[in-house]
Amino acid sequence: MTSTEAEAWVESAFAQVSGFVGVPRWDGSATPEEMLREILEYGVQDEPALPSVATFQVWPLAGPAVLTCRVCLVDHDSVPDFTEVVGAAVHVVESKELGTGIQFSTKKVVKDAGGEATLHSVDLIFSDDDAAMVFSLEQSLPALIAGAMPGLGVLKNVFRVFRPDGAKFSGRAPANVLDEKAWELVENAR
């Protein structure tokens, strides 16, 4: 974005989140307008840091807390084998437009002088033999990740990818990931 476009975006976005002015923050103090503007401006400034098809600033709670969600289209070979990561949860997900993929979730405990916090991350990866569409929520606190998950579920269903020849992209989950769909219960026929 040009600086003029960035300023216009911040003003437009502020109109949507201005209701958070005065909302109690984590420490009980009222949310100032300047804080909301700084959060929005940071999102615009941070945008060029990582190349992506789209970047979303997600406000998962009714207050001044945000996550960044990046959507990237990358070469299939650049995506690591997430199924081999120790301690990660990997399971199959479906997208109406992108086919079958995996949800890769991690949990990490971070300690400092003030105590410790558990941080979670979630990535949705839809991959075929050539390319991968990756939706990444930045690492954050469980309440923020949980609040962002419904929107991520919607987002994965609205993106479409077409190849230069016009063929539609269709992801496939790795063969070594279990599909954890609920079992169909059969009533007793006696």
Give the residue from 103, 151, 157, 153 showing the smallest Cα distance to 127.
103
Quick one: pLDDT at residue 46? 63
Question: Which of the following CATH numbers is that of domain 52-175: 1.10.3470, 3.90.1150, 3.40.1000, 3.40.35?
Answer: 3.40.1000
The pLDDT of residue 137 is 93
Contacts of 56 (CB under 8 A, 6+ apart): 68, 69, 70, 71, 155
Boundaries of CATH 3.40.1000 in the chain?
Answer: 52-175
Note the pLDDT of residue 81: 75
Spans in the chain with pLDDT lower than 70: 46-50, 83, 175-190
pLDDT score at 134: 94
